[in-house]
Structure 1
Amino acid sequence: MEALLPASLKRLKEALERLPGIGPRSALRLVQALLKKPELLQALWESLGEAAQQVRSCMRCGFWAQEELCTLCQDPTRVEPVLCVVKEPADVLAIERSQAFRGHYHVLGGVLDPLAGVGEDQLRLSVLWQRLRTEGYQEIILALGTSPEAETTAYYIARHLADWPGRITRFASGIPVGSDLEYVDPLTLARSLRERLPLSL
C-alpha cells in the first residue's frame, strides 16, 4: 500500500510516524485530514516554521522561550526560594496547572540512562550546580518521575549535593483520590505507607 502513495505524501506520513504516539495508521489519518483542509495544512506549515526559527531553551532554566529568558524566569512575582527540577519542559506545564508552586524550575532535558548513551554531559546538570551555588535557593525539589532512570538521576543529584546546606525533597507518592486499594500498584502502596501523614481533624 505504501507504494501507492505519491513520494511527497509518503515522506509526510513517515515524518508523522516519528512523533511520539503516532503509528502508521494514525499518520495516514492525519495526512488525510490535512489534505482535506488545505488551510489547516498551511497553518501547520507556518507554525512549524515559526517554532523552528523562534523557540529556544531558556538559558537559565531550560524551559521553552522566544528570548534568552522564558516568561517564568522573567516573572518578578516568583520569589519562593525553591527550585523544582524536572525532566522535560512539558513537566513544567503539568506542575503549573496545579497552581500550587510559585518557585522556579530547572529542566534537565532527560534523565541519566547509560544504556541509551545519556550521561551527565547530555543533561543540564552543570547549569544546575551553578544555579544552586549562586541563586540562593533554600530547597530543591526533585520532580523527575518514578521510572528506574528517574530514581537513579534523583539519587545521583542528592549524592552530589550531600554538602549543600538546603533541603532536598521529592514529590510525595500517594494513592490517587477516588482509587480503591485493589487497583493501586504495590510500589505506590509501599511508598504511601512509608510517607504516611497524621490525620488532621
Structure 2
Amino acid sequence: MNFIGYRSDALGAAVELVNAVTGTLDKPAPGEPGPAADQMRAVLVAHGFLAGRAPATVEPALRAWARRLRTVFDATDPEAAAVAVNALLADVRVEPHLSDHDGQGFHLHYSPPEADVVDRLRASTAFALAMLVSEYGVDRHGRCAADGCSRVFADTSRNAARRYCSPACANRSAVAAHRARARAAQVSER
C-alpha cells in the first residue's frame, strides 16, 4: 500500500528511522544487531531517497527527526495522533510539485525544489504519517506488542492485523503464550 504516491517508501522510512533510534536508546529487539555507524544514511538509501546528496551531518538531524516521528507511533487515541502529526507538519515546509530529476520521470515531491534530502525526507515522512492517521486513525500503527520490545510498526496489510515490529517478535510472543497455556493446563490437571 503506497500512502503518498511518492517513489520512495516514506512510511517504511519513518518506521525504520524510529526503530534505528529506538535501538540506540533502548536495547535492540532480541536477535537484531545494535545500531551501526551511518545507519540513518542507510535508511535513506533503503527507502529510495538520494542519500548521496545528504550532508555529512545527516545522522544527528535524522535522529532528532526520528524522535519526533515516534510521538505519532506512541499516540494511542486519534486526537493524540492528530496533535502529533500536526506538530510534525508544522515543522516542515510542504510545497508539492512534480519533479523529473535523475531520469526518474515525473513524480510528486512534497518539499520545495531547493530542499535538501533531509528536508525532503522530513516532509515525506510527515505527510505519510498524516495520510496513515487520516485514513486509519490509530489502528494501523503503534508500538510492538511483544513484551520488552519498544520498536514500532506501521501496518500496510489488507487485513490490518499486525501488532508486532517483526516476525521474530510475533513468533517469540506466540511461543511465550503457548508455553504459558501449557503451564496453566499442567497446573489445572494437578
TM beyond 0.5: no
TM-score (normalised: structure 1): 0.24
TM-score (normalised: structure 2): 0.25
The structure where helix makes up a greater share of residues is: 2
Q: Which of these two proteins has the greater Rg computed from alpha carbons?
A: 1
Higher relative contact order (CA 8 A, sep 6+): 2
